[in-house]
Amino acid sequence: MTYQSFEDLIATMTPEICDNMRRAVELGKWPDGRVLSKEQRELCMQAVLAWEARNLPEEQRTGYMEQACKSQDEPTEEQPVTLRAPDQLQ
């Protein structure tokens, strides 16, 4: 199948196609064993990320990391810092 644009490709992708592309990027080869070129790998990754952004909640997307920072509503703890002159460092 030939697509007129990258947007056309994303619009016609199914979850199965996305999974196959994701797996191909991870393994560096298609399910039939053919190796992905550098360009194919980059385009597949872009397609996976674009499809996920449109179709999945943020926490289910590739590369999602839960925020490690504390909420601004929580009080911050101050930690004291002791500064020493270079000649006192040993």
Q: One digit per residue, pLDDT tens: the chain, 90 residues?
A: 677 788 888 999 999 999 999 999 999 999 899 999 999 999 999 999 898 988 877 877 777 777 755 555 566 677 776 767 666 655
Number of H helices, E strands in the chain: 3, 0
Q: Tell me the torsion sign for CA atoms 33, 38, 39, 44.
A: positive
pTM beyond 0.75: no
How far does the chain reach from its first CA to its final CA, in angstroms? 69
